[in-house]
Structure 1
Amino acid sequence: MDRNPYFRGPTMPNGYPSQTQYGQQYDAYGQPVYGQQPGVNQFAGQQAYAPQAAGGGVFTPGSSASATMTYDDAMVKTTVLLAFTIITAMLGAFMPSKAAMPLVALTIPVTLGIAIFCAFRPMVGPGLSIAYATVQGFAMGVVTAALEDLYPGIALQAIIGTLVVVAVAVGLHMSGAVRTTSKGNKIVLTILIAAFVYGIVNIILVSTNAVDGMFGLDSMKVGGIPLGIILGLLLIFIGGYMLIGDLELVHYAVANGAPKKFAWMTAFGIVSTVIFIYWQVLRILAVLAGDR
């Protein structure tokens, strides 16, 4: 989303003198349109990027203000995706584990494929968003139910822990105490890539019985603390930072007059981050319980 001008802050044009000088136009997907006169509406009645008319590079509403995204649009779409996640999680939790666990293994390449596909699209619609939330919800339900059988009470703890992290992130965003930065985003991306590689390696080692312990490398101790807890806490912090960034993108999209359909993209970002936080909270609780 940070490549799309709809999700940029008002200071975005400062780094792009060609946009402020020549009045770069964007289509309804936020992609540049070349060979057009400055200030011409390229959004078919939705939006135009007109620096001359908007005081130096601010998106202004087009002729159809009702077609632009609002905070309510983003929150409604977020609620819809969370509902799909919760419903499928409940379905997964009540499935027999022997039948469900093989399906969980399939969710890894499926969700990864959806995420990569979405990353290269100018916009994420309801179909991909709901598919991601549904598949992830099912996996969450199955895994949580299996861990609940081993460690009673872990499901409720994971839910409460996730709600606490989300509430803190939302509070920090609303208070303005924490804001994301370009440098911070690069650091977060680097950590996420490293965590992804670590996770794949750990899955391979566990599936081949190359390491001892139910959680593989996560069970290894560093200074007496399981590695999974250390990494989980780091990634929860990263998840909170990412959620603050997702909420900032909603603010930018509304302020820049993005079309309503972009609400699905913002909702996808928020829900995928909340799911990420849940997995990390569950991971920490599981490693803690298994280390007793």
Structure 2
Amino acid sequence: MKTSNPVLARLGQAAERERAAGYAPAGAYGQPSGQAYPTAAGYPTQAGYPAAPPTVQPMTVDDVVVKTVTLLGITGLSAAAAWILVPDAMLFGAWIGAAVVGLVLGLVISFSRVANPALVITYAVVEGVFVGLASKVFQEIAGHQGIVLQAVVATFGVFFLMAALYKMKVIRATPRFTRGLIAAMAGVFAVMLINLVLALFGVDTGLRSGGGLAIVFSLVCIVIASLSFVLSFHEVEEGVRLGLPQRYSWTAAFGILVSLIWLYIEILRLLSFLQGDD
């Protein structure tokens, strides 16, 4: 099986080895060949072969959908709990703490070669706290009433639009598209990091202050975040084609969740700029 993604290719090869390990000839597991072995039901297998261990279940699109909905539910519940339970006096500290912890967890999951459902679920909980507190700041503290509902509707509207465009093959994750989008994402994150460092030293670059430059930058981030769904859909498609183990559906769902959260925050920020300080 061939794919342009070397990571997916390695995972596909690992899946083939796992599936091959699901069948063992007589004499495996230290038993003499030719002997009948009891199965789970208590009956010997045919020709004296031992009962094969369960084969590795390949992931499906449905697996990814279920995991994505599950993570979204966890994120939503965590966000609601943070909104209600975190007092205003601790709001900004908890918000920054959740952002830092979420970033670290995201990097660990992204660079790990092993799917870890527990780690992905933990990320969803932490990001739920971050999203909930960010939403509270924009709507309650900054006074932009109704902005959260508007951002949620816009976020899922963009998501379903990108899913439809990908399904109709209007946009495809070609090698050139992938390289260009990854470069754009790296550039945007570098600009964000530099802007954050400068802000800590009291330097206002105007990227997040609500002016014309801030609106343009938010629009650029929204476009890139929207296009990142194409990479996520492509990874799901390739993962299913390569027969990756079912547990990797958690990793695929994680990628979609990251894009959804980024898109939501950028739309929330843009809406706050457009509404002004009223």
Superposition deviation, residue 207 in structure 1: 4.0
**Cα RMSD, aligned residues only:** 2.6
Deviation of the 1:141 alpha carbon: 0.6
TM-score by length of 1: 0.75
Q: Are 1:265 and 2:251 matched, yes or no?
A: yes
Over 3 Å counting, the alpha-carbon distance change for 1:265 and 1:111 in structure 2 is same
Question: 1:182, 1:235 → 2: CA distance?
Answer: 21
- The letter for the 2-side match of 1:3 is P
1:5 corresponds to which of 8, 19, 28: 8
Contact between 1:46 and 1:64, CA under 8 Å: does it hold in 2? no
1:67 aligned partner? 57
The aligned counterpart of 1:112 is 103
> Matched residues in 1 for 2:88 and 2:6: separation?
41
TM, length-normalised to structure 2: 0.78
Q: Residue 66 of structure 1: CA displacement? A: 6.6
Candidates 175, 182, 185, aligned match of 2:175: 182
Is the deviation greater in 193-202 or in 84-93?
193-202
Partner of 2:160: 167
The answer on 1:26 being equivalent to 2:13 is: yes
Question: Which amino acid in 1 is paired with 2:89?
Answer: K
Bigger Rg, which one: 2
Distance 2:139 2:123 in 1: 24
Name 1:31's counterpart in structure 2: none
Q: Which amino acid aligns with 1:188?
A: L
Whole-Å separation in 1 of the counterparts to 2:193 and 2:87: 26
* Gaps in structure 2 of 5+ consecutive residues: 23-52
1:140 aligns with 2:131: yes
Q: Is 1:153 the equivalent of 2:146?
A: yes
- Flag the 1:287–1:80 CA change in 2: closer, same or farther, 3 A: same
Q: Residues 157-236 of structure 1: matches in 2 within 5 Å?
A: 157-211=150-204, 216-219=206-209, 221=211, 226-236=212-222
Equivalent-residue separation in structure 2 for 1:276 and 1:142 (angstroms): 15
Aligned to 1:22: none
User: Cα distance, 1:46 vs. partner?
Assistant: 6.8
Other structure's SS at 2:247 match: helix
Q: Percent identity?
A: 26
1:249 alignment partner, one of 230, 235, 252: 235
Q: CA deviation at 1:220?
A: 6.5
